[in-house]
Amino acid sequence: GNWQDNFRLYAEALGHSDEAEKQLQDYQDQVQQLSNLIGSPSALQVSVITQSGDSLGSYTTGSFAGAVLQDVGLARNPAQVQSDRFAIQLSQERLDTIDGDLLFLIHTYHLADSVSQSDFVADPLWSQLAVVQQGGVCEVNGAVWIAGRGILAAQQILRDVEKCWRQVAQNQTE
């Protein structure tokens, strides 16, 4: 994604191009390791959503987190495949557009009405989703997934994806 281009640009301006390329290579190695661990990442459909009060939004492939998920090769619902928009508003009638295997729920800790994972899965509306029934909802930090936009945030997203994937894989074998 373009966050990598920006990273290179900043590094070049600061005279640290070699270090930046090394860090980006480390990131690519982590992406490859995660893809290998998952096995068939394109067979997993994932969503990145945020809910504050009555407002429900989904982050698309055009978002920072979306670009990282794309690097791993994870599938997205067709409604979320939009390179020109970083997020879309969702209505409760279109819950099918966020269902899938893994759902990353962005919890923004400093917002009082930001919905947590426990609140989300307890909601009768969301509990109809297969991803909720399979235990595939993972709470992630908005400061990283939305505001991060750099190498450290990208690496944290990879760690979050691995943790969530392992949690769901473990639930399915029990």
pLDDT digits (tens, 9 = 90+) for 92-123: 777 788 899 999 999 877 666 777 788 878 88
Tell me, what CATH number does 51's domain have?
3.40.50.1980
Reported pTM: 0.91
Question: What is the domain extent for residue 75?
Answer: 2-173
Rounded-to-integer distance, Cα 54 and Cα 104, Å: 18
Tally of domains within the chain: 1
Residue 30 has pLDDT above 90, yes or no: yes
Q: Where are the alpha helices (DSSP H) in the chain?
A: 2-13, 17-38, 64-72, 117-122, 130-133, 142-145, 151-173
